[in-house]
């Protein structure tokens, strides 16, 4: 018998509002629709009424988990319009915070995926590792969520020798719980049954819908902005792009686990090779000439782009924000087809959605 089953706009597996309508034949999903727009906040419009420093504070609140990514993309756009060259030490500090943010995001997703599966021991263990990263972010920046580390022209504050040593110590200490997490996800039969072959997205469909970030790379798409179009001196660092071919939920798990290890490498290189330069070009209100630029960066969930237009005044003429969930959400109906209703929540969550970003 056929049924139409609504999930959301609020659902236990998601903290943010989205509405997914499932069309089923018994327990089997035959089709699905995704409805967005429950969380609109008008941030792009507000950006046209704020000066450049105020806009940094504003866009940092587009997303709590990717707050550094949004301010970085915005600042990069303004710096290009103004012809600014950020001191190398400032770029390295931006990289460190960006990779710590990636660790935070990936550990968070792995924990939530465990919780949706019903494996709460793995959830608690993964969140224990995440807590070490959050403590380090608080020690370095003073904040656990919105780090306020970006200004136009570089980084807001420098780190001390003691902070760098503490950071390297944290990277060393987190290796053991990370290896345990890898072991759990790679050997546990219950995780395998709930993730392998579930929510498959082929390379062709990933290409058609423009899937990006870990979600796209789990379907064989090699795109990583840090490699394809380096920013903030990413060309100085040696790291690998994590790619899987199967395109199921398990592949998305593996990609994020591999990216965690690469982030460890990048942070260690940044600390050990930290340049001895200023961290920014000054803290004054920047003067941005007439111009426009589209910057893009690799946020934890995928490519974030900021199209910024200046008319030479004190406020933005236009700020357009494009987030990875916008692309990845379109793949959800494709992944849901042919799966059971019981797997729907996990499949939707497997793209690591941020509907606050999407409905900015």
- Supply the pLDDT for residue 11: 65
What does DSSP assign to residue 88?
H
Whether pLDDT at 12 is above 60: no
Let me know: does 226 contact 234? Beta carbons within 8 Å.
yes
Confidence of residue 82 (pLDDT cuts 50, 70, 90): very high
Q: What is the dihedral of CA 92, 97, 102, 105, to 10 degrees?
A: -170
Check whether 16 has a pLDDT greater than 80: no
User: For the domain that residue 233 is a member of, what is the CATH number?
Assistant: 1.10.645.10
Between 5 and 46, the higher pLDDT residue: 46
Name the range with the highest mean pLDDT among 2-11, 149-158, 283-292.
149-158
Domain range holding 333?
40-343
Greatest Cα pair distance, the chain, in angstroms, is: 69
Confidence of residue 290 (pLDDT cuts 50, 70, 90): very high
* Whole-number percent of the chain with pLDDT over 70: 99
Task: With respect to residue 24, please indicate whether it lies within any of the assigned structural domains.
Answer: no
In a domain, 105, yes or no: yes
Task: Tell me what percent of the residues of the chain surpass a pLDDT of 90.
Answer: 62
In a domain, 253, yes or no: yes
Residue 21: inside a domain, yes or no? no
3-class SS string, 142-185: CCCCCCCCEECCEECCCCCHHHHHHHHHHHHHCHHHHHHHHHHH
* pLDDT at residue 7 greater than cutoff 60: yes
Region 103-129 average pLDDT:
91
Q: Specify the higher pLDDT residue, 359 or 331.
A: 331
Instruction: Tell whether 4 is covered by a domain.
Output: no
Is the confidence at residue 49, as pLDDT, over 60?
A: yes
pLDDT greater than 80 at residue 15:
no
Average pLDDT of every residue of the chain: 90
pLDDT for 234 equals 92
Structural domain total, the chain: 1
Q: What's the pLDDT at 199?
A: 87
Residue 357: the pLDDT is: 80
Q: What is the pLDDT of residue 80?
A: 94
Q: What is the mean pLDDT of residues 324-349?
A: 88
More confident of the two residues 172 and 5: 172
Please say if the pLDDT value at position 8 is more than 80: no
- What mean pLDDT do residues 56-62 have? 92
Residue 330 lies in a domain: yes
**Does the residue 3 lie in any domain?**
no
- Residues 219-260 have pLDDT tens digits of 999 888 999 999 999 999 999 999 999 989 999 999 999 999
Residue 30 in domain: no
Tokens 């059971």 locate to: 340
């Amino acid at each position: 018998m056929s049924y139409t089953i609504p999930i959301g706009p609020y659902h236990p597996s998601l903290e943010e509002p989205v509405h997914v309508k499932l069309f089923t034949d018994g327990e089997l999903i035959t089709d699905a629709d995704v409805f967005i727009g429950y969380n609109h906040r008008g941030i792009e419009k507000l950006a046209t009424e704020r000066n450049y420093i105020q806009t940094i504070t504003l866009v940092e609140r587009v997303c709590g988990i990717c707050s550094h990514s949004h301010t970085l993309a915005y600042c990069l756009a303004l710096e290009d319009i103004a012809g600014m060259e950020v001191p190398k030490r400032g770029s390295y500090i931006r990289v460190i915070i960006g990779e710590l943010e990636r660790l935070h995001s990936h550990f968070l997703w792995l924990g939530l995926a465990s919780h949706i599966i019903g494996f709460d021991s793995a959830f608690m263990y993964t969140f224990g590792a995440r807590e070490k990263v959050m403590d380090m972010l608080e020690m370095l920046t003073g904040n656990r969520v919105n780090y306020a580390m970006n200004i136009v022209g570089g980084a807001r504050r420098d780190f001390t020798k003691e902070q760098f040593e503490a950071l390297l110590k944290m990277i060393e200490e987190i290796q053991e719980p990370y290896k345990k997490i890898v072991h759990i996800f790679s050997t546990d039969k219950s995780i395998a049954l709930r993730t392998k072959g579930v929510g498959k997205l082929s390379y062709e469909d990933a290409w058609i819908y423009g899937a990006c970030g870990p979600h796209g790379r789990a379907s064989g798409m090699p795109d990583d902005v840090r490699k394809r179009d380096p920013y903030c001196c990413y060309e100085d660092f040696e790291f690998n792009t994590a790619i899987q071919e199967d395109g199921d939920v398990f592949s998305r798990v593996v990609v994020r686990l591999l990216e965690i290890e690469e982030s460890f490498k990048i942070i260690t290189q940044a600390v050990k090779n930290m340049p001895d330069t200023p961290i920014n070009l000054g803290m004054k209100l920047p003067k941005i000439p007439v111009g426009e630029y589209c910057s893009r960066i690799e946020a934890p969930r995928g490519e974030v782009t900021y199209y910024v237009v200046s008319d030479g005044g004190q406020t933005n003429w236009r700020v357009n924000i494009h987030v990875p969930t916008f692309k990845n959400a379109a793949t959800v109906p494709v992944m849901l087809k042919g799966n059971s209703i019981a797997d729907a929540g996990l499949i939707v969550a497997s793209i690591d959605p941020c509907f606050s970003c999407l409905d900015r």
